[in-house]
Amino acid sequence: MEKNAESIQQLRQENQRLHKRLSEAIACKRGVIDEAFNKRGVEKEAYRNMSEKDALTVQDQKVLSKTKRLNAQKHITQTKQQHLEELRREYQRMKAEAGGGAPSADAHARKKEEEAMKLRAQENRLEKIQFKCKEAENITVNYQKVKRHLQVRLDVVHVTPLQMISCSMFFSSTHFSPWSLLFPSLTSGPQEESLTFQGILDSLEAEILKCREELNKMQILNQEARSSKKAAKVTS
């Protein structure tokens, strides 16, 4: 009997200790919530019965949602600002035209800025055209090499594997694939009984002429871009 009383007393003490720890934990949790939601009574009451982890998860979700809304609003604001700036420039241009007098210092500065932007655009265009011209020149050179290589073998009637390997060295640096010419049966129609190099030469000659025409066009555009660049520099 005395032993049972001691056990009961120990259990009561343990129960009191656990209750105390629970109360401290609840008080600590409430303290964290109170501190985090200071001066926000409605939200504080909503989170009071949540654990710190649950409250943090909910807050993370809210932050993510608000971040998405903020990014969307920033994009809208940026778009409207760009549109406003375009309208402002258009208004200043119309105002200067309506005045009919000498342009103001601001109008002159805006004009110089617009001319500088046009000049940069022309320079970018010029670089692209120069790159395309160089590429067209390289392709033309490669086609001419292939033509010379095939011309010395014009007496051969059939295409052999050795000739295929020899030709591939010249086509490796171009975007043109001669295999559709060498083996048309792989792509369309029945297999031809024979295929001479003269047909290949004719096709390559047509490709060379096409490439030269494209190169001439690019050179004309190149010259136009250079002229525009010089004119923009003279007026600035």
The string of pLDDT tens digits covering residues 201-214 is 566 667 667 766 77
Task: Report helix, strand or coil for 19.
Answer: helix
pLDDT band at 33 (very low <50, low <70, confident <90, very high): low
pLDDT at 97 (0 to 100): 76
Return mean pLDDT, the chain: 67
137-151, 166-180, 192-206: least confidently modelled range: 166-180
pLDDT at 199 (0 to 100): 64
Read off the DSSP letter of residue 37.
Answer: T
Query: How many Cα atoms sit within 13 Å of 135 on the Cβ side?
Result: 10
Domain map of the chain by residue range? 2-73, 115-235
Task: Give burial (CB, 10 Å; 0-12/13-18/19+) of 9.
Answer: exposed
What is the rounded CA–CA span in Å between residue 129 and residue 57? Answer: 55
Say if CB 222 and CB 129 are below 8 A apart: yes
23-37, 56-70, 206-220: least confidently modelled range: 23-37
For residue 127, give Cα distances in angstroms to 130, 131, 219, 229.
5, 6, 12, 12
pLDDT at 13 (0 to 100): 80
pLDDT band at 165 (very low <50, low <70, confident <90, very high): very low
More confident residue, 66 or 52: 66
Q: What is the per-residue pLDDT across 73-130, written as a single tens digit (0 to 9) for each? A: 888 888 888 888 888 888 888 877 776 554 566 777 787 788 778 777 767 776 776 6
> What separation, in Å, do the N-terminal and C-terminal C-alpha atoms of the chain show?
111
Q: For the chain, what percent of residues have pLDDT higher than 70? A: 44
